[in-house]
Amino acid sequence: MTGDAPDPMRILALTLVLQIVSLDLWGQAPPGHDFEKLPFAPRQTICYRAAAPLTIDGRLDESAWRRTAWSEPFIDIEGDRRPHLSTRVKMLWDDEHFYIAAELEEADVWATLTERDSIIFQDNDFEVFIDPDGDTHGYYELEVNAFGTAWDLMLVQPYRDGGPAIHAWDIAGLQVGVVVRGTINRPGDRDDGWTVEIAIPWKILLEAAPARKPPRAGDQWRVNFSRVQWQLDVSEGLYAKRLNAKTGKPLAEDNWVWSPQGAIDMHMPERWGFVQFSHAPAGAPAAPFIENRNERVKWALRRLYYRQRRFRAAHGRYATDLSALDAASIQVEGLGFRPSMQVTDSLYEIRAAGFDNTIVHLRQDGKVWVRGTETPRDRP
């Protein structure tokens, strides 16, 4: 499922649209927004092995899927509020693919877009975000609607840090299967929802993976899942987005996620959950999630990144001294957090000693990485 060769003019149009959309989203939470006060509590899960390749048809009837537990229900993107419709996911892996399945409760299953690489979140959709090495740069996004229409793209870095999104990037070998539990685009009846099943070849994700290799047992990748849900009315026997009576524009969509973002912005990879890969087969006794303590150090540096953004928004330049960022107020449990910083007119890098003889680095574009003995495959 790779599609035809991309049309350059269409790619340019998509780029402009996405730049507008991303500015719109970031406008709800500008650089001065106090992101560092959000609780740092990404969800964690274990991804078990599938004993044999799965048939991607949306039915989830293989024994591996039946033995795999569903995730916690999705919550609102901004916090703990429970959505009025249920969404949950499960994951598996083998040597060739990362398998993802989602179950979306929906009384009125609706979709309009049928062309590959349309802007799928204009429909109700299910979305996948993957940052293999956890540095917040070089990550992947996939969106699918109830027709099984896919939109895939790669982000060089988050929109807040200048992007860009590479819309010509395709998941070669992508497989998507959808089963609608009811009828699609038929007002007047009540549906149960839809199920989507996805297989992503590891080989297409290697560009941003540690050492450009698929995960090994024990590796952890940053992943999140999102659901976009529009409010609908029925007009002349067809579904249509519900309009704001004052503006005449569609009401804002709901955004529901697996791991809470804390703001209406999926492009904050530091907020995504952790998926730990296990060699154990689906249905095996639960494996423990092993905390990487340097994630605490990364978050401490991320708080300084947020403070630098606020400082620059207020003063037109980066702070040149950590005291201007009140770095002494940031603590890391179990570690003496003593960062240092180098600054030029337009660049900076902050570093701090991490756990297990490592050094953790973060620079002005938000990229974070670890040097040392604990994670030798990490790279800047």
Give the pLDDT confidence of 291-337 residue by residue, as tens digits.
Answer: 999 999 999 999 999 999 999 999 999 999 999 999 999 999 999 99
Confidence of residue 380 (pLDDT cuts 50, 70, 90): very low
Residues facing residue 58 across a β-bridge: none
Q: What is the mean pLDDT of residues 215-231?
A: 98
Confidence of residue 79 (pLDDT cuts 50, 70, 90): confident
The pTM is what? 0.91
Confidence of residue 378 (pLDDT cuts 50, 70, 90): very low
Query: What distance in Å separates the CA atoms of residue 59 and residue 65, rounded to the nearest whole number?
Result: 10
Query: What distance in Å separates the CA atoms of residue 213 and residue 210, rounded to the nearest whole number?
Result: 6
pLDDT at 20: 41
Residues facing residue 277 across a β-bridge: 47
Confidence of residue 19 (pLDDT cuts 50, 70, 90): very low
DSSP assigned state of 67: T
Query: What distance in Å separates the CA atoms of residue 154 and residue 169, rounded to the nearest whole number?
Result: 6
Query: What distance in Å separates the CA atoms of residue 165 and residue 264, rounded to the nearest whole number?
Result: 18
Q: What is the mean pLDDT of residues 173-199?
A: 97
pLDDT at 31: 53
Q: Is the pLDDT of residue 91 over 50?
A: yes
pLDDT at 37: 82
Q: Lowest-confidence range among 21-30, 258-267, 297-306, 363-372?
A: 21-30
Give the pLDDT confidence of 21-55 residue by residue, as tens digits.
Answer: 443 343 344 554 678 888 889 999 999 999 999 99
Q: Are 127 and 228 in contact (CB under 8 A)?
A: yes
Q: Are 335 and 296 in contact (CB under 8 A)?
A: yes
Report the percentage of the chain scoring pLDDT > 70.
Answer: 89
Q: Is the pLDDT of residue 250 over 80?
A: yes
pLDDT at 15: 46
Q: What SS3 class is residue 267?
A: coil
pLDDT at 373: 62
Q: Is the pLDDT of residue 377 over 70?
A: no
pLDDT at 33: 63
Q: Is the pLDDT of residue 9 over 80?
A: no
